[in-house]
Amino acid sequence: MHDHDEEGGGVLWAAFGDLMACLFGIFVLFFAWMVLFEVDLSNDLAEVRAEHEAAEARLDELESALAGPLASGLITLTDGRIGIRGSVLFDSSSAELRQEGKDLLRQLAGPLQGYLEHSGETAMVSGFTDDLQLRRNGSFADNWELSVERALTVVRTLTEAGFPPGRVFAAGFGAQHPIASNADEEGRALNRRVEIAPVPAPLLERLTASTQNGK
């Protein structure tokens, strides 16, 4: 009887030892996983921080390159998005560039191209108008058409100045998306504008593919 108890105790202690070994192995694996997870997380955070710092540096370079137009109030710059008042570029109800507008766009083309090349983005040129109806005997059917033609004029001028045609596209929004009230002339003047905004390159690729499929 005594021998049987000792044998049973030995088996029990052996099973307990195996269990503890298993738990210790699990603990070691879990600890190793936590260490690797923290290392990966630290690396990811470092990469994100480096990308953020690089993006800020590129934006600072763009701001420095456009210091003249910014100081003179011809443009605004917010997160890489350039805003230009419509009166700087066009006469009322016209999509033909004023000489001042041509000179400004030629000045913008080089710095904007350099900024977008580093970020891997492309440029969306958007035209906007106020909500006043156009004259019926004018060149354009409505504000939608006017905003599109103005955006296209800006795109053509940028490409003529050396901006890659495959990295820019035009969009017209008419009186939609105002940034001020259309109740007075001051607000309407702010809403008549062109914006050049950086967008992810795949967006342009999808738009191009959609247009080709539509044909």
**Splitting the chain (215 residues) into consecutive groups of 10 residues, what average pLDDT does each group show?**
52 62 73 71 67 72 88 90 94 93 94 86 95 82 95 97 93 96 95 94 59 53
N-term to C-term CA, the chain? 94
**Amino acid, single-letter form, for residue 43:** N
Q: Classify residue 8 as exposed, middle or buried by CB count within 10 Å of its CB (0-12, 13-18, 19+).
A: exposed
Q: Which fold has domain 66-214?
A: 60s Ribosomal Protein L30; Chain: A; (3.30.1330)
Phi, psi for 77 (deg, rounded to 5): -135, 120
Q: Which pLDDT does position 5 carry in this prediction? A: 53
